[in-house]
Amino acid sequence: MKEGSPISASLEHVAYYPPRKAEKYATVVALHGRGTDENDLIPLVHSLGLTDALLISPRAPAPFEFGGGFAWYDVGQEGVPNAQSFGASLDLLRRFMDEIRAGYPVDRQRVILLGFSQGTVMAYSVALLDPASFLGIAALSGYIPQESGLPLAVEDLRRFSVFVSHGVYDQIIPVRLARESAELLKKAGARVEYREYPMGHEVSEKTVRDLSAWIKNLLK
């Protein structure tokens, strides 16, 4: 992939183009976790071997006070983001999604959100507010914020695909939240591929292999 010049948008971001030129591209939007930035997930996505996909990765809007980097929201109680910071970031991210669809050669029928930790919470929220606009979600080490008060679409998701992965020993976001999210999606009819790994709050090599196979199959 080759880095391109980013458009002016609501969120700072990086964009990487595949080597093959096309009028429109399948697009992966990667949302990083707390305490990192827009470059954090780039090596992960590159390792998936997606030779024909456009990659866009935005930076969360709030500086993270403890250790540098950025965050999407302040942590509230377990499984419930701080309402004020979460709502502000969600508004920005939804605007950003509209901007990149208009400003980049995005195939609107093939947009996948990939998130890690807080990025997964944001990915779930954006996609479940408007599931028809996304092909699917790769949800790594996160959860659906069911108590956020958002009108999330969790009733009819029969055309929606989700890859959920989580570490059994995750001490940051308990694995039970991932299990609850997966069950909620399955009940709504989504096609869910759920994976647990003997790891903590991280992404393992096995995760990458499984995710690569899932995302390539989805984009066929």
Q: Percentage of the chain surpassing pLDDT 70?
A: 99
Q: Which amino acid is at 98?
A: D
Q: How many domains does the chain have?
A: 1
Q: What is the pLDDT of residue 38?
A: 98
Q: d(Cα 79, Cα 83) in Å, to the nearest integer?
A: 12
Q: For every residue of 103-118, which 3-state class applies, written as one string?
A: HCCEEEEEEEEEEECH
Residue 62 · residue 85 · CB < 8 Å: yes
Q: pLDDT by residue (tens digit) across 24-61?
A: 999 999 999 999 999 999 999 999 999 999 999 999 99
Cβ neighbour number for residue 168 with a 10 Å cutoff: 11
The CATH number assigned to the domain holding 61 equals 3.40.50.1820
Q: d(Cα 59, Cα 77) in Å, to the nearest integer?
A: 24
Q: Mean of the per-residue pLDDT values for the chain?
A: 93
Which SS3 state, helix, strand or coil, does residue 165 take?
Answer: strand
User: Which spans in the chain are helix H?
Assistant: 42-46, 83-103, 118-129, 175-187, 205-218
Beta-carbon contacts of residue 209 (< 8 Å; ≥ 6 apart):
none
Q: What's the pTM? A: 0.95
Which SS3 state, helix, strand or coil, does residue 33 take?
Answer: coil
Q: What is the pLDDT of residue 76?
A: 73
Q: d(Cα 44, Cα 99) in Å, to the nearest integer?
A: 24
Q: What is the pLDDT of residue 83?
A: 85
Full residue range of the structural domain in which residue 63 is found: 2-218
Q: pLDDT by residue (tens digit) across 114-165?
A: 999 999 999 999 999 999 999 999 999 999 998 767 767 677 888 899 999 9
